[in-house]
Amino acid sequence: MIYLLEILNQLCIYVALLVAMDLILGKTGLLSAMQASIYGTGAYATGILSAHLGISMWITLPISIMLGAVVCSSLALISIRVSDEALVLVTLAFQMIWSDLANNLGSLTGGPMGLRGIPPFRLLGFESDNPIAGLVLSATLACLALLVAAKTDISPLGRAIKAARESELFLSSCGRNAALMKAQAFALAGAIAGAAGSIYAMHVGYISPGSFDVAESIRMITALVLGGLDSLWGPIAGAVLLVGLPEAVRFLGISGSTAANIDQMVYALILIGLVALRPKGLWGRYAIR
C-alpha cells in the first residue's frame, strides 16, 4: 500500500512538472533542456533554508516558487537573443552549470552526497513525510497546476502566447509584446516547477544533484512529447509513462544498472518513433518543429 501511495505521489509531482514544461514547450514552442534544474532550484531552496537555517516551510515554499519563476523567466529574456535551436544548447549549458554548482558547493548543497534532514511540511497535525499526507499535498499541487494550465489555455494571455509561437511578427503587429508574453508563461512554468521541487524535498527529506540532472530533463521532454504538447491530457499521460516505465522494467527482474540502460534506450526509441510517426504525441495539439 505504501509502495502504491509513493508511486501516486511521484506521479502527481511529475504531472505538475510536465504541466509546467508544457507551458514552455507546448504553448511557446521553445524547447528547454533545463526543466530539471528549475525543479532542483525549488528543492534546494527549500532544503538549504529549512535544513541549514531552520526557516519555516511557510516561508521556504513561497521562496522556492519565486526563485523558480525568476530563474525560468530569465530564460525568456535569453530566448530573445538566440535562435530556437541555440536556446536548446544554452539551456543545456545552464543545466550543466546548475549540476556542477550543486555538486561543487558542498558546504551549502551537501555536494554529490546530497542534503539530508529536510523537515517535512506540517499542517493540521499531518506531516508530508507520511505517504497519505504527502500524496494529498502533491495531488493538490497537480490539480492546481492543471487548473492554471486550463485557465491559461482559454485566457487572452494563453492565446497571445500561442500566437507568438506561430508568428512573433503577427503578435507584434497586434500591438502585443511577444517577449513579455513569453516571460509570463515562463514565470508561471517556473513557479509550478519550483513548488514541485519544494514539495518533493519536504516529502523525501533528502535531495541530491543526481535527481535533477540532464537525464531527468531529457526524460521529462520525452514523456511530454509522448503524452502530447499543448493539451491537458498530455502531461498526465506523459507522467504515467515517466513513473510507470522504470517500475515495469524493475518488475522484469533486470539488474539495476542494466535496467537503467534499458529504461533510457526505450525512452530514446519512443522519442524517435513518435517524432517520425506521431509528432503530436497521444493527445497533443502541437508538434515540435
Partner 1 sequence: MNAAWSQIVVNALLTGSISLLVALSLHLIRACNGFFDLTVASVFAVAPYGVFVCLHLASGSYPIQSGIGIAACVTGVLVALSCGFLLNWFLFAPFRRKAVSGGVLLVIGWAAYMFLENFLGVLFGQDSLSIRWFSEPQPIKILGAYLTPLNVATIIIAAVLALGAVGMLRGGLSLKVRCVADNPELALLRGIHVERVRATSAMCAAMLAGTAGILQGLDTQLSPRMGFEPVLNGIAALLIGQEWGAVGVILAALGLAQLQQFVGWTWGNDWQSVCTFILVVMFLLWRGSGRAISATSGGKL
Give the per-residue SS3 of 103-164: HHCHHHHCHHHCECCCCCCEECCEECCCHHHHHHHHHHHHHHHHHHHHHHHHCHHHHHHHHH
3-state secondary structure of 282: coil
Q: Does 108 bind partner 1 (CB under 8 A)?
A: no
CA-based end-to-end distance of the chain: 43
Find the angle CA(221)-CA(21)-CA(185) to the nearest 5 degrees: 150
List the one residue from 1, 85, 124, 174 that touches partner 1 (CB under 8 A).
Answer: 85
Q: Does 32 bind partner 1 (CB under 8 A)?
A: no
List the one residue from 56, 104, 140, 172 that touches partner 1 (CB under 8 A).
Answer: 104
3-state secondary structure of 121: coil
Name which of 146 and 271 has its Cβ closer to partner 1: 271
- The least distance separating partner 1 from the CB of residue 269, rounded to whole angstroms, comes to 6
Name which of 112 and 244 has its Cβ closer to partner 1: 112
Name which of 8 and 260 has its Cβ closer to partner 1: 260
Q: Give the distance from CA 203 to its chain's centroid.
A: 17
Q: Does 87 bind partner 1 (CB under 8 A)?
A: yes
Q: Does 172 bind partner 1 (CB under 8 A)?
A: no
List the one residue from 192, 222, 281, 284 that touches partner 1 (CB under 8 A).
Answer: 222
Nearest Cα residue to 238 out of 3, 8, 22: 22
Q: Which residues contribute to the site for partner 1 (CB under 8 A)?
A: 31, 78, 81-90, 92-94, 96-97, 100-101, 103-104, 218, 221-222, 257-258, 260-262, 264-265, 267-269, 271-272, 275-276, 288-289
